[in-house]
């Protein structure tokens, strides 16, 4: 009987060990249990093989609309990298339907960068050294309120304002009354506050910096750099940026310096770095492009600015934790104009956490917005928006909240442009402004330097 079963039964009961074991025991219950176990094992193997085949088939036939939906939610850096997986994925940036989804996801996603953040607007009034002042405003919705500056520096000009004028001087009383207090000559360094702390550059003395916390009105004067005492013909700061070193829990200032040994010799440029923890300056030697027109942004411990060298445009980045520079060439398909073509303006903003470069074509009122996918990778720049013409708008100032960019018109009016629905929201008019910038600020009650305390 066993021989007959061996000849006519399925393959899974023909195992010699099963036959020998069952033949040896001669127990019907044992034989039945053995057959059931072997049958179940074989069915499981068949099920696994079938599921594997189904999974392979399904993975090779995911509908394109589902693939596009998933890819459209990826960061630009990841999307660029996945272009090597399939040729069709590398061509997605030429697909209008996909790019519409990608832009929408970029603009609507929430980013912690804007949580509990207010927008400061700094304006400059007047163009000459003896006849200008800076004003600071806080922007909340469609309301704007002017703020008072601190007074950390004693200034001889301020003392002169207290003297009693003579009779001849009284005739020019109106002009004397219009003299600007020196405490209004502060330029905010960078585009953000670090732990609620702003860095102020005293424009009466380019080498004087101080830290200021608007919430508590606490301030700290930064000591002068020893490099200023070197017997050069003249040493002058060119531009400065602020940032946070998350490794050492330190507030830092990086400053480009120009040394002019002789009026007939070209200047020598280097970098000065201040550490709040040590309250000292140190020198960094690096041959990287300097900032042009203070076009800069900051995010995640790295500051970025737009620079130019030998008619090539760069994004220059400085990492405050490892104190190193990264340069990213800006390709011609993003910026093909000459750096000194004043008909084209350049503004760096943060667009929902992404670094964005806005090119403003003032003659046509057109705005081109490109974002960077990965630092150091030239081809990761992608032009996402071409907006306009928008004659009411003139100059992009900086990012406000999420998908909104603050603009200024020719008459000093401020307006918010919403990239998601292409609407313009007029805010107010600040007349006679010759300079305007935005600063993102988060309030903090911690003392200056208490980043993680």
Indicate the average pLDDT of the chain: 76
Strands (E), 151-223: 186-194, 197-202, 209-213, 218-222
The whole-number average pLDDT for the span 345-356 is 87
* Residues pairing with 266 in the sheet: none
Select the more confidently predicted residue: 77 or 432: 77
CA distance 198 to 317: 20
Whether the per-residue pLDDT at 401 is higher than 90: the answer is no
Whether the per-residue pLDDT at 296 is higher than 50: the answer is yes
CA distances from residue 324 to 238, 239, 283, 284 in whole angstroms, order as listed = 19, 17, 12, 9
Whether the per-residue pLDDT at 248 is higher than 90: the answer is yes
Band (pLDDT 50/70/90 cuts) for residue 10 is very low
The answer to whether the beta carbons of residues 260 and 277 sit under 8 Å apart is: no
Per-residue pLDDT tens over the stretch 182-237? 446 788 999 899 889 999 988 777 678 999 998 888 889 999 888 877 775 678 78
CA distance 255 to 243: 11
Band (pLDDT 50/70/90 cuts) for residue 52 is low
The whole-number average pLDDT for the span 153-161 is 46
Q: What is the pLDDT of residue 127?
A: 66
Q: What is the pLDDT of residue 5?
A: 41
Band (pLDDT 50/70/90 cuts) for residue 23 is very low
The answer to whether the beta carbons of residues 146 and 133 sit under 8 Å apart is: no
Band (pLDDT 50/70/90 cuts) for residue 273 is very high
Percent of the chain with pLDDT over 70: 73
Band (pLDDT 50/70/90 cuts) for residue 324 is very high
Q: What is the pLDDT of residue 374?
A: 92
Band (pLDDT 50/70/90 cuts) for residue 2 is very low
Q: What is the pLDDT of residue 60?
A: 59
CA distance 224 to 197: 19
Percent of the chain with pLDDT over 90: 17
Q: What is the pLDDT of residue 182?
A: 46
> Cβ neighbours of residue 125 under 8 Å, at least 6 residues apart?
132, 133, 134, 135, 432, 433, 434
The answer to whether the beta carbons of residues 400 and 425 sit under 8 Å apart is: no
Residue with tokens 């007939």: 264
CA neighbor of 21 nearest in space, from 10, 42, 37: 37
Q: What is the DSSP string of 340-370?
A: T-TTEEEEEEEETTEEEEEEEETTTTEEEEE
Select the more confidently predicted residue: 116 or 138: 138
Q: What is the pLDDT of residue 139?
A: 84
Whether the per-residue pLDDT at 168 is higher than 80: the answer is no
CA distance 303 to 190: 8
Q: What is the pLDDT of residue 400?
A: 80
């Amino acid at each position: 009987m066993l021989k007959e079963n061996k000849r006519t039964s399925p393959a899974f009961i023909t195992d010699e060990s099963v036959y020998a074991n069952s033949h040896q025991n001669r127990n019907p219950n044992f034989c039945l249990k053995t057959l059931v176990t072997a049958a179940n094992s074989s069915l499981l193997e068949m099920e696994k093989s079938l599921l594997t085949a189904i999974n392979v088939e399904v993975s090779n036939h995911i509908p394109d609309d589902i693939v596009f939906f998933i890819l459209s939610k990826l960061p630009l850096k990841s999307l660029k990298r996945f272009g090597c997986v399939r040729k069709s994925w590398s061509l997605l940036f030429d697909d209008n339907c996909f790019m519409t989804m990608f832009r929408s996801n970029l603009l609507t996603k929430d980013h912690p960068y804007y949580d509990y953040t207010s927008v400061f607007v700094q304006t400059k009034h007047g163009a000459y050294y003896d006849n200008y002042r800076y004003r600071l405003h806080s922007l909340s919705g469609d309301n704007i309120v002017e703020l008072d500056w601190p007074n950390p520096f004693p200034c001889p000009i301020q003392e002169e304002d207290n003297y009693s004028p003579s009779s001849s001087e009284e005739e020019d009383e109106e002009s004397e009354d219009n003299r600007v207090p020196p405490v209004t000559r502060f330029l905010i360094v960078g585009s953000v506050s670090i732990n609620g702390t702003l860095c102020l550059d005293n424009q009466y003395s380019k080498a004087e910096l101080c830290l200021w916390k608007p919430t508590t009105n606490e301030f700290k004067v930064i000591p002068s750099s020893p490099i200023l005492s070197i017997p050069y013909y003249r040493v002058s700061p060119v531009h400065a940026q602020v940032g946070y070193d998350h490794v050492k829990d330190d507030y830092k200032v990086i400053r480009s310096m120009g040394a002019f040994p002789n009026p007939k010799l070209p200047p020598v440029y280097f970098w000065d770095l201040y550490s709040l923890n040590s309250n000292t300056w140190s020198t960094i030697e690096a041959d990287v492009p300097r900032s042009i027109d203070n076009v800069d942004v900051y995010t995640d411990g790295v500051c970025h600015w737009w620079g130019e060298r030998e008619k090539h445009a760069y994004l220059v980045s400085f990492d405050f934790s490892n104190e190193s520079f990264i340069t990213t060439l800006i390709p011609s398909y993003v910026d093909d104009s000459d750096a000194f073509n004043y008909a084209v303006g350049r503004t760096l903003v943060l667009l929902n956490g992404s670094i964005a470069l806005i090119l403003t074509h003032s003659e046509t009122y057109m705005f081109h917005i490109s974002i960077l996918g990965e630092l150091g990778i030239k081809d990761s720049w992608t032009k996402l928006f071409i907006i306009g013409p928008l004659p009411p708008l003139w100059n992009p100032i900086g990012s406000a909240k999420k998908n909104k960019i603050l603009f200024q018109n020719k008459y000093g009016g401020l307006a918010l442009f919403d990239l998601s629905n292409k609407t313009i929201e007029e805010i107010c008019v600040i007349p006679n402004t010759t300079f305007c910038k935005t600063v993102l600020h988060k309030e903090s009650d911690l003392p200056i330097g208490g980043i993680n305390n």
